[in-house]
Amino acid sequence: LIQLYAPLSFLGVLYREVRQSLTDIERMFTLLREHREVQDAADARPLAAGPCTVHFEDVRFAYEPRRPILHGVDFEIPAGRSLAVVGHSGAGKSTLARLLFRFYDVTGGAIRINDTDSRQLTQASLRAAIGIVPQDTVLFNDSILYNIQYGRPTADREEVIAAARAAHLHDFIESLPDGYDTTVGERGLKLSGGEKQRVAIARALLKNPPILIFDEATSALDSKTEQAIQAELEQAARGRTTLIIAHRLSTVMNADQILVLDKGKVVERGNHRDLLEQNGLYTQMWALQRQAEEK
């Protein structure tokens, strides 16, 4: 039996390694595919450093020509302010974030950053100006130090530690057997949903971008962790132009503006109070969420 066990265990390790490599290759191809969608214009200019105003001007978009997803979306996020987008699943919320990052080009209208059409900007400078806290953070099979440093590979250890402190991750990391050198990811220590989000926040803080996109996780965290993450995000967003793709309404109450998106159109806009007074879709969604929470 022992003679059988060794090769079987070797096969198990091999299987995991192959599966991880396949996942990495898959991700690489997804990225390559998305990169090929857009090209730098011949006369593209870099985005100047500093605060950014984001302006969506009658933005229309379709992934496939026969199925339009956005039907003319208008909004402006002044530099340093926040805007949250809510709406039913499939309304087009995450699409707004993908367009801002320029994974795709708009099919009509324009996205302007400080009055320049984002198609006139170099992709490298645009993407350097945007930090993303995604729904599900990808962790590399490497140390937690490396995983945070990924936000800005030139950052030194002290800067990584400062970002981890700001994301309230430092004490947790210090409690691990190898501290910042502990391996995480598929073959290392598994992090909880909340810890992964904190890694994403620390990465974004290290990158220090003028624009922040927060794509809220659909899977709920426990309410204490959710409140803590919410507070850390609000701190990270301070002074940055922030787009929040919200799946739970508790995240949006403090946003400067809220857009309610329905089937690719803005149907209501205002702050939390204005929207409750309008007594429309937002009020309905709010009541439903309340009911769900009370159950």
CA dist 270 and 262 (Å) reads 15
Rounded to the nearest whole angstrom, what is the least distance from the CB of residue 96 to ligand ATP in the complex?
7
Rounded to the nearest whole angstrom, what is the least distance from the CB of residue 165 to ligand ATP in the complex?
31
Interacting residue with ligand ATP among 47, 54, 56, 92 (CB under 6 A): 92
Q: Which is nearer to ligand ATP, 21 or 30 (CB)?
A: 30
Q: Which is nearer to ligand ATP, 68 or 78 (CB)?
A: 68
Q: Which is nearer to ligand ATP, 196 or 207 (CB)?
A: 196
Residues 6+ apart with CB under 8 A from 175: none
| ∠ CA 151-152-158, rounded to 5° | 100
Interacting residue with ligand ATP among 7, 12, 51, 90 (CB under 6 A): 90
Q: Which is nearer to ligand ATP, 47 or 91 (CB)?
A: 91
Rounded to the nearest whole angstrom, what is the least distance from the CB of residue 220 to ligand ATP in the complex?
14
Mark residues 263-282: x for contact with ligand ATP by CB under 6 A, - for none.
--------------------
Interacting residue with ligand ATP among 53, 94, 125, 141 (CB under 6 A): 94
Contact status: 91 vs ligand ATP (CB under 6 A): yes
266: number of Cβ within 10 Å = 18
Coil/strand/helix, residue 114 = coil
Cβ(101)–Cβ(127) under 8 Å?
A: yes
CA dist 66 and 161 (Å) reads 49
CA dist 42 and 218 (Å) reads 39
Coil/strand/helix, residue 155 = coil
CA dist 209 and 240 (Å) reads 8
Interacting residue with ligand ATP among 59, 73, 82, 93 (CB under 6 A): 93
- For residues 26-65, which are near ligand ATP according to CB under 6 A? 63-64
CA dist 202 and 150 (Å) reads 10
CA dist 79 and 59 (Å) reads 20
Structure tokens at 166: 């700001």
Strands 257-262 and 82-86: parallel
Q: Which is nearer to ligand ATP, 112 or 247 (CB)?
A: 247
Stretch that binds ligand ATP, among 20-28, 72-80, 89-97, 229-237 (CB under 6 A): 89-97
- For residues 206-265, which are near ligand ATP according to CB under 6 A? 247
Binding site for ligand ATP (CB under 6 A): 63-64, 69, 87, 89-95, 247
